[in-house]
Amino acid sequence: MHRRRLLTLLAGAGTVGLAGCNRPQTAGTSTDDGTGSPPPSTPTGSGDGGVYVQSFVERMGRLGTATAGPYRVALLYTVPHQFWTVTNAQRSLVPRGGGDGYRVHLMATVWDPETGIAIPETGLSLELERDGALVSEEVIYPMLSQRMGVHYGGNFTFPADGDYRALIDVGALSIRRTGAFRGRFGDPATAEIPFRFTARDRERIGTRESPGAGDPGAVAPMDTAFPLGRAPDVEAMPGTHLGTARSGDAVFEAVRLTDPPAGVDGPGPYLSVSARTPYNRFVLPAMSLSASAGSFDGDLVRTLDPDLGYHYGAAIPELTEADRLRLAVTMPPQIGRHEGYERAFLTMPPMELSI
């Protein structure tokens, strides 16, 4: 593989630019010793902070898995969570909520069983029935969690123990699909997951304190049998690795393909930028990213590809001759965040790579 080039940040060079170098480079830091105090439950940071170790490690339970059209869908639950939604660069806290009954955070994960690629960005709603009667129905947001990766989540109340049925509607994908994903994921699909919820299920979940809470880093993702939305290792990405850039604590891996993937109009080469979280390498979807190289100056398109994964891409004929690649985030990732991610990926200075 090609040598990674040192990133250069046009703004915030130095502290932010090199911050990653003295941070843990791998997941699992929750077991490292650390004396940082837990973060306040409602961090008041300006939004330009980095990823930090969440204050607790939660246990989860699985309610079921089902097939919906081309997708596999898993439904999990854990203790209710506060999380943050993001609109433009504005962050809004969603509280745990209350009410009569047993409050849980429900999480749906959606992936393509053929490739194991998680679907990080579509409309998804969850309908909950108990004994045939409607309990709830909500659009639930894509979000990032250190334990659960890229999932769709929301807080719900089970009014009582009993037999439930979850209907998970996965919306048709509106982002571009390329390669073997062309023509796929274009229709909505519904997963039906019946489950019984009892005292035993309540006992299965809980939290423990997280050592190192508040320090730069992330707790390890849970060990699951399904994809958590991890971006591919650089070594596993096709094409020529152009370099690694960082902004707002996000990591951007840029690769050049000789030819665009099938489904992209225009002559090659093709620039693919994969954005991911530090430490756990979760995909960072739903941002506006533009690139300039040589005389090219334009938007990269949110794209799902079986080989490149979720990425931002464009055919850029000038790419081969250009010696500099500039990347600019014009809108930060419009994905909800669990604790530890809410301060990061909001203020994202432009980046420049020598290529």
Partner 1 sequence: MDFDESLPRRQFVKAAVAAGGASALSACLGRAPRAGEPVPTGVSDISNLPQRQHAWNDRVRVDADGNVHLPRHQTFLYLTVDADGPPEDDARGTVEAALRTLDRAYERSNEGLVYSLAYAPSYFDRFEATLPDSVDLPEPRRLSGFENPTFDTQDALLHLASDRGDVVLEAEEAMFGDRSEANGVAVEAKLGDALTVDDRRTGFIGAGMPAERQAQAGEPISGIPDSLPVPEQSPLFMGFEAGFAGNQATEDYVTIPEGPFAGGTTKHVANLRQRLGDWYDEQSFAERVMEMFSPSHAEQGLVEGVGDNLGADSGIDAVLDPETIQQSISDHGRVGHAQKAARANRDADGNVRILRRHVESTDDDVASLHFPSLQRRLSTFEEVRAAMNGDDLTDNPAIRQRVNNGILEYIFVQNRGNFLVPPRRHRALPTPRPA
What residue ranges bind partner 1 (CB under 8 A)? 87-88, 90, 92, 94, 99, 121-123, 125, 127, 134, 136-139, 141, 169, 171-172, 174, 186-188, 190, 285-288, 302, 331, 333-334
Confirm if 173 and 142 have CB atoms less than 8 A apart: no
As beta bridge partners, residue 65 has 74
Of residues 93 and 262, the one with the C-beta less far from partner 1: 93
- State the nearest-atom distance from the C-beta of 338 to partner 1, in Å: 17
- State the nearest-atom distance from the C-beta of 130 to partner 1, in Å: 12
Which residues contact residue 344 at a Cβ distance below 8 angstroms, ignoring those fewer than 6 apart?
49, 50, 51, 248, 249, 250, 277, 337
- State the nearest-atom distance from the C-beta of 53 to partner 1, in Å: 27
Helix (H, G, I), strand (E, B) or coil at 317: helix
Of residues 144 and 242, the one with the C-beta less far from partner 1: 144
Of residues 143 and 219, the one with the C-beta less far from partner 1: 143
- State the nearest-atom distance from the C-beta of 158 to partner 1, in Å: 15
At residue 282's C-alpha, the angle toward residues 107 and 241, to 5°, is: 155
Among 110, 235, 237, 234, which residue's Cα sits nearest to residue 173? Answer: 110
Of residues 286 and 293, the one with the C-beta less far from partner 1: 286
- State the nearest-atom distance from the C-beta of 97 to partner 1, in Å: 9
Which residues contact residue 143 at a Cβ distance below 8 angstroms, ignoring those fewer than 6 apart?
83, 150, 151, 152, 153, 335, 336, 337, 338
- State the nearest-atom distance from the C-beta of 96 to partner 1, in Å: 13
Of residues 169 and 318, the one with the C-beta less far from partner 1: 169
Cis peptide upstream of residue 269 (ω within 30 degrees of 0): yes
Question: Quick one: tokens of 129?
Answer: 């029935």
Of residues 285 and 340, the one with the C-beta less far from partner 1: 285
Chain-centroid distance, C-alpha 231: 9
- State the nearest-atom distance from the C-beta of 201 to partner 1, in Å: 24
- Pairing between strand 296-305 and 61-68? unpaired
CA distance 150 to 227: 9
CA distance 329 to 350: 7
Of residues 136 and 320, the one with the C-beta less far from partner 1: 136
